[in-house]
């Protein structure tokens, strides 16, 4: 019996579930995070450029290269540890270092990414962040540091993972161009758990930033839809005007052009709106898995998102619904106008057929009149010929010409009428 065959990609698919392990992060420690998105259609970018940019960084530190076609990489670069990941629209770099400097969030902490290397990036920075991980002896110390590091008005702080850690951020870009995150683990919190929280914070920030791209697209769409709705309303009003039949073909062309414009807009925004919904769901899920509890009355990450992030996402969804609604209205308007044009043309065809029926009826009557006259004319000539035929026999019979013509007229006329009728019937068959 032949052995059971595995699917050719069984191991590849199974290993994919374990391909992106969480980093192990010591406390105290720090991390520098960078997310780069290619310009234009980032989902169809040349991923070889991403790989080449990663290899350029690894070569500067004399580090080993990733496997061909790899979508993730973890390795040592000098005294740091690098985690690289390739996603649908962007790539991320996270560099971890043990220990923290005396000055929190110093811009030199980001110099692990050389400036000239950053300038050669195959895309644009979508976000970057500095993450400081240090144990805190008391809540008082934590509160003092939070007040020094973050803006009070937008600060979000929470206990996470059953109060094993405290995380904080104000989601503002500092003077060096980076977001700031603080992580305060308890002394007994393991390195893998710290790494998992750091990874979640990076994902929350990245997918939040990617989601906000949908807001930019939504604002452009709403502005363009305002013009389209005005034009569509004008066309609908023109359709309902009396005496506009002569312009119906032109109106139909205008609506079809407007529908084409709408479909182009749908095609242009469909991916971005769909991606925004997916990224929003990831942000929500990543915050949920942190299992937040309140820290001294401060707003939670989820509350910050509810107040600042959710309205933006609702705007995106509203723009998407508005676009779908306008597309449906344009389709209905085109259908109504087509129906109106078809009905008008059918009415014109009906009037034409009625006119043709009247002309045919008149022609038939004229033909019947002509046939009657033809019977009279032919009968006249036939009667004259018959008269010449019977004149020699009138004297012996004692008849005059008038009496003979009177006798011959009825049968001659009848014969002519029957002959013409038979001839007409023959031609109709």
Residues 64-108: pLDDT tens digits?
999 888 889 999 999 999 999 999 999 999 999 999 988 999 999
For residue 427, the surrounding DSSP H or E stretch is helix 401-428
pTM of the model: 0.77
- Band the pLDDT of 260: cuts 50, 70, 90: confident
d(CA 338, CA 276): 37
User: Is 358 inside any structural domain?
Assistant: no
Q: Based on the domain organization, do 263 and 341 belong to the same domain?
A: yes
Q: Is the pLDDT of residue 1 over 50?
A: yes
Q: What gap in Å lies between CA 82 and CA 79, rounded to an integer?
A: 10
Q: Are residues 181 and 129 in the same domain?
A: yes
Mark whether 166 and 253 lie in a shared domain: no
Looking at the structure, do residues 53 and 176 belong to the same domain, yes or no? yes
Task: Establish how many alpha carbons lie within 13 A of residue 269's alpha carbon, considering only the half-sphere containing its beta carbon.
Answer: 28
Helix and strand numbers, DSSP H then E, in the chain: 10, 9
Helix ranges (DSSP H) in 66-152:
115-119, 139-149
Yes or no: say if 55 and 73 are a contact pair by the CB < 8 Å rule: no
What is the domain range of residue 287?
A: 211-351
Is residue 197 one of the residues assigned to a domain?
A: no
Residues 307 and 184 in one domain: no
How many domains does the chain divide into? 3
230, 179: one domain: no
396 with 327, same domain?
no
Q: Which long-range contacts (CB under 8 A, 24 or more apart) does 253-261 make?
A: 255/330, 255/333, 255/334, 255/337, 256/334, 258/228, 258/231, 258/232, 258/330, 259/327, 259/330, 259/331, 259/334, 261/228
Q: What is the pLDDT of residues 330-386, one digit of tens each?
A: 888 777 777 776 766 777 778 787 888 788 778 777 776 766 666 666 776 776 767
Q: Is residue 231 part of a domain?
A: yes
Q: Are 183 and 192 in contact (CB under 8 A)?
A: no
**Which residues lie below 8 Å from residue 393, measured CB to CB, with a gap of 6+?**
none
- Give 141-190 pLDDT, tens digit per residue: 999 999 999 999 999 999 999 999 999 999 999 999 999 999 999 999 99
């Amino acid at each position: 019996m032949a052995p059971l065959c595995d699917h050719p990609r069984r191991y590849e698919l199974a290993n994919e579930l374990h391909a992106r392990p969480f980093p192990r992060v010591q406390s105290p420690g720090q991390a520098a995070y960078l997310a780069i998105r290619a310009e234009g259609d980032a989902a169809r970018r040349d991923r070889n450029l991403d790989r080449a940019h990663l290899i350029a960084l690894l070569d500067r530190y004399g580090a080993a290269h990733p496997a061909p076609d790899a979508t993730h990489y973890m390795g040592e670069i000098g005294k740091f540890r690098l985690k690289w990941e390739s996603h649908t629209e962007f790539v991320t770099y996270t560099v971890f270092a043990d220990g923290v400097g005396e000055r929190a969030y110093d811009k030199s902490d980001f110099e692990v990414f050389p400036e000239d290397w950053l300038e050669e990036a195959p895309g644009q920075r979508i976000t970057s962040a500095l993450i400081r991980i240090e144990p805190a002896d008391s809540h008082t110390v934590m509160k003092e540091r939070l007040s020094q590091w973050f803006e009070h008005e937008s600060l979000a702080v929470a206990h996470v993972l059953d109060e094993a850690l405290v995380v904080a951020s104000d989601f503002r870009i500092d003077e060096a161009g980076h977001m700031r995150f603080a992580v305060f683990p308890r002394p007994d919190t393991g390195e893998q758990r710290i790494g998992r929280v750091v990874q979640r914070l990076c994902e929350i920030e990245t997918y939040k930033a990617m989601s906000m791209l949908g807001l930019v697209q939504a604002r452009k769409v709403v502005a363009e839809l305002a013009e389209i709705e005005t034009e569509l309303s004008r066309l609908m009003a023109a359709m309902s005007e009396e005496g506009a039949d002569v312009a119906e073909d032109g109106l139909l062309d205008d609506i079809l052009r407007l529908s084409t414009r709408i479909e182009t807009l749908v095609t242009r925004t469909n991916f971005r709106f769909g991606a925004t919904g997916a990224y929003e769901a990831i942000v929500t899920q990543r915050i949920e898995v942190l299992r937040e509890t309140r820290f001294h009355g401060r707003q939670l990450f989820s509350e910050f998102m509810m107040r600042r992030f959710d309205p933006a996402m609702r705007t995106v969804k509203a723009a998407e619904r508005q676009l779908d609604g306008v597309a449906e209205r344009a389709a209905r308007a085109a259908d109504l106008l087509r129906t109106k044009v078809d009905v008008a043309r059918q009415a014109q065809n009906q009037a034409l057929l009625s006119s043709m029926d009247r002309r045919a009826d008149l022609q038939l009557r004229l033909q019947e009149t002509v046939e009657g006259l033809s019977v009279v004319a032919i009968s006249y000539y036939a009667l004259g010929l018959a008269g010449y035929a019977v004149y020699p026999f009138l004297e012996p019979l004692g008849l005059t010409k008038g009496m003979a013509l009177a006798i011959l007229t009825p049968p001659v006329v009848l014969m002519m009428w029957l002959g013409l009728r038979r001839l007409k019937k023959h031609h109709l068959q």
